[in-house]
Amino acid sequence: MILIKKHIPLFICFLVGVLTLGSYYVPNVHSENYLEMMNKWENIVAGFAFLLGLMSLFTSHFHKISRRAPGWGYSLFVYAGFLLVVVPAVVSNGQPMAGPAMTSLGWIYRFVFTSLSGTMFAVLAFYIVSTAYRAFRIKSPQAFVLFAAAFIVILGRVPLGQMMWDGLLGWTGYQVTDVIEWLMSVPVVAGRRGIMIGIAIGGIVTALKIIFGIERQYMGKD
Amino acid sequence: MTNNKLTFLFLAAAIAAAGTGTADAAEKKAALPPLTGFTAADMPGDAGGAALLRWNSPGEAAEGAVIEVHASDPAKPGWVKIKEFPAAGNLEKDMDMPFWAWRPVPGRHAVTADTTSSFGRPAAAQELEFKLRLVKGGSSVETEPVKASIGGNWFNASRLNNLVLMLTIIIVFFWTVSHAKRKGLFIRRIAGLDAIDEAIGRATEMGRPIFYSTGIGPMSLVPTIASTSILGEVARKVAQYDTSLKVPHFDPIVMTVCKEVVKQSYLEMERPDSYRDDINFFVSQDQFSYAASVDAMIHREKPAACFFIGHFMAESLLLAEVGATTGAIQIAGTEQESQLPFFFTSCDYTLIGEELYAAGAYLSKEPMLTSTLKVQDFGKAFVMLAVVAGAILIAAGAMFDLDSLSKVVTQLFKAY
């Protein structure tokens, strides 16, 4: 049992990991074919896994409805929404357009799905404002530095801010655009690169831990 | 008679003019220098289908001319033009290859000729003929056809620097792992991970659920794998305190893996009775549908704690801000540096950079896993030294006009 649950999966993980890593250095056509084959397998597995996901979605909402759990009414919309898209998709043969005319699937996609997605994305703007308000509360010297930098960058992007800068700090000889450019290309880039280097090193080490079987949490431990 | 004379004079003038034209054309043709030293060979370090063509500089006489590359399969007669470029460019020293894989000869030109669109890319090496044609105005000169056998290579020498670095990391990795078995390691405190106990304790006291999102990344992404490790540790504590855990998923494969991870954690804590199959559930594979659904659940159920750990994009703020408005204690971590500011401002604790990858080891406290944190430290030390040394050498190269030094340093750290 331990052979099937532990050793074989670890060996497969090691083999696939080493081959994939090696294919970066081996430019041969066999290497390309291997990567293409792995992509195909991933798509096939994802296809079957999607069925599992769909079953999980329906089962969890079915339980909510049958138990009359709080908010069970929302679960009805899952089934209604599913039918609302799948039935027109079957009727339209999966095509959003029939010649120049829009099919029912195309109509739903354009006027329901895209609009709803756009609405969710638009909500982001309001959240950015509330987050910015929270970020700009000056509680420490570091927060003041953040506030000052953000204040210059935000104000300097609009004509009013440029007028204010010219009126108050024009005597320094520096334009507000120069200061913004320096902020964005020196301290911001330095901070970002520091984080990116840390992420890259962490990613490499985690990948090695997985390839060599030291990290096994993802397969349910021993 | 007069007419005949005129006709004769006209014909004589026309013949004379034609003769001058032919002489001019011959002069023009002679003005184009021949392309000498033409060679064709397999392009080193490629997947096949490309040839490396080299020739001597045609000199200033070829100013404004273009060079056409023609190729032919000896089995199928006929030439195909595969490339055209100005004759003055494409010097060997301009080839995008590092110094250890490419020795440019001064005054020589080189170009990579990709033949895949015309001749395909067979698995075995194929023999093709190549010739160059120097064209300027209406005149042209050609080289003699040259045969070359082109095919895929087994090693890309340009990536040798990357391979050496990778092997060094692997050696250091195994050294630290073996070292860890004998000695313990000091690990600095990570506030975001220490707060996990606090978050779960708060949820237990308040009798509210804990939400854990692994983000929208597939299982092939390293941050998603790191997130499943953290989920395992969170699930152990959740099982211990018998708190409610909810893990909404974007990817069905990640959901399947997380089910196993959570189940195992409950079994290890000897609480299989508390495990429910619907702890992990699929929501949607559309980014904003997922965000809308999880937002709605957080808004209705008002969890005591929210974990957003994994690969997040625009939905990061949509999720974290809703969580913040419900008053939940929030812990987040992602490898997307563009999303970190959003998490940083909306969440109580944020795992920044490599902390995300260190979390599994930090929480499990397994010696083998914790030892690998040392590799991350060595990696950072190496990067710091490389940045300082590289900056000094590049500056010295610029100061003392040592182009070759600048080139060597740049190429050593370049990804090909």
Q: Give the mean model confidence (pLDDT) for residues B387-408.
A: 94
Minimum mean pLDDT among A155-169, B155-169, B171-185, B357-371: which range? B171-185
pLDDT of residue B301: 92
pLDDT of residue A216: 83
**CA angle, corner B279, sides to B353 and B204, nearest 5?**
80
Is the minimum CB–CB distance between B353 and chain A shorter than 8 Å? yes
- Please give the Cα distance from B331 to B191 (Å, whole number): 10
Phi, psi of A113 (to 5 degrees): -65, -50
- Please give the Cα distance from B231 to B253 (Å, whole number): 15
Q: Which of 222-281 (B) contact A at CB < 8 A? A: 222-223, 225-226, 228-229, 232, 249, 251-253, 255-257, 260-261, 263-264, 268, 278, 280-281
Report the percentage of chain B scoring pLDDT > 90: 71
pLDDT of residue A220: 66
CB-CB under 8 Å, B369 with A215: yes
Minimum mean pLDDT among A97-106, B12-21, B370-379: which range? B12-21
Q: Give the mean model confidence (pLDDT) for residues B296-305.
A: 94
CB-CB under 8 Å, B232 with A127: no
Q: Give the mean model confidence (pLDDT) for residues B89-104.
A: 92
CB-CB under 8 Å, A121 with B317: no
A103 contact partners, CB below 8 Å, separation of at least 6: A88, A91, A92, A95, A96, A97
Residues forming a β-bridge with B135: B66, B140
Minimum mean pLDDT among A11-20, B28-37, B236-245, B389-398: which range? B28-37
ipTM exceeding 0.85? yes
How many contacts (CB atoms, under 8 Å) link A and B?
198
Phi, psi of A221 (to 5 degrees): 55, -155
B380 closest CA partner among A201, A204, A187: A201
Residue ranges of domains in chain B, CATH in brackets: 39-155 (2.60.40.10), 158-182+370-412 (no CATH), 191-365 (3.40.50.720)
Q: Of B345, B369, B376, which to mutate for an interface test with A (greatest number of A Cβ within 10 Å)? A: B345
- Which positions in chain B touch A49 (Cβ < 8 Å)? 251-253, 255-256
CB-CB under 8 Å, A120 with B342: no
pLDDT of residue A221: 56
CB-CB under 8 Å, B260 with A220: yes
The stretches in chain A having pLDDT less than 50 are none
Q: What is the pLDDT of residues A169-222, one digit of tens each?
A: 989 999 999 999 999 999 999 999 999 999 999 999 999 999 999 888 777 655
pLDDT of residue B7: 52
Do residues B299 and B326 touch, judged by C-beta distance below 8 A? Answer: yes
Q: Give the mean model confidence (pLDDT) for residues B232-237.
A: 94
pLDDT confidence band for B177 (50 / 70 / 90):
confident
Predicted structure pTM score: 0.84
Is the pLDDT at B6 greater than 80, yes or no?
A: no
pLDDT confidence band for B21 (50 / 70 / 90):
very low
Q: What is the mean pLDDT of chain B?
A: 89
Shortest CA gap A118–chain B (Å):
9
Do residues B48 and B113 touch, judged by C-beta distance below 8 A? Answer: no
Q: Give the mean model confidence (pLDDT) for residues B385-411.
A: 94
* Cβ contacts of B33-36, under 8 Å, gap ≥ 24: B33/B58, B33/B59, B33/B61, B33/B62, B33/B134, B33/B141, B34/B58, B34/B134, B34/B141, B34/B143, B35/B67, B35/B132, B35/B134, B35/B141, B35/B142, B35/B143
Is the minimum CB–CB distance between B291 and chain A shorter than 8 Å? yes
* B253: nearest CB among A25, A46, A132: A46
Nearest-by-CA chain B residue for A82: B284
CB-CB under 8 Å, A220 with B261: yes
pLDDT of residue B23: 46
pLDDT of residue B18: 47
Nearest-by-CA chain A residue for B347: A131
Question: Measured between alpha carbons, how far apart are the two ends of chain A, in Å?
Answer: 11
Is the minimum CB–CB distance between B97 and chain A shorter than 8 Å? no
B119 contact partners, CB below 8 Å, separation of at least 6: B49, B71, B73, B80, B126, B128
Minimum mean pLDDT among A77-81, B14-18, B252-256: which range? B14-18
| Token digits of residue A136 | 């700009």
Residues forming a β-bridge with B333: B309, B351
Q: What is the pLDDT of residues B45-89, one digit of tens each?
A: 998 899 999 999 988 888 889 999 999 998 888 999 999 999 988
* B335: nearest CB among A199, A209, A219: A199
